[in-house]
Amino acid sequence: MNRWAAALRLTGIGFWIGGCIAGGVCLGDYVGDRIGPPALFILLGLGLGLFGAFFGTYRMLLPALGRGKDKEDR
């Protein structure tokens, strides 16, 4: 993998992490305004966003670590 491909992959992972966390907090804020205590739903949204960020990052880094599906073909 050349430098540009690695840089683009890392940039995409950074946007994924930021988007998941921000999306989770915004969704939690929206649901909290509609249903009940906003702080509770913001924290739940943050937790959901963090889980999505870490799981997605793990899945995106598997091929770079050499543990992706392409290793099964060898």
The residue extents of the domains of the chain are: 16-61
Over range 47-54, report the average pLDDT: 96
Start-to-end CA span in the chain (Å): 18
The answer on pLDDT for 29 being more than 90 is yes
The answer on pLDDT for 45 being more than 60 is yes
Over range 9-38, report the average pLDDT: 94
- The pLDDT value given to residue 68: 59
Give the DSSP per-residue string, 8-71.
HHHHHHHHHHHHHHHHHHHHHHHHHHHTS-HHHHHHHHHHHHHHHHHHHHHHHHHHHHT-SGGG
- The pLDDT value given to residue 74: 46
The answer on pLDDT for 52 being more than 60 is yes
Q: Which residue in this structure is represented by tokens 């966390």?
A: 21
**33 phi and psi angles, rounded to 5 deg:** -65, -35
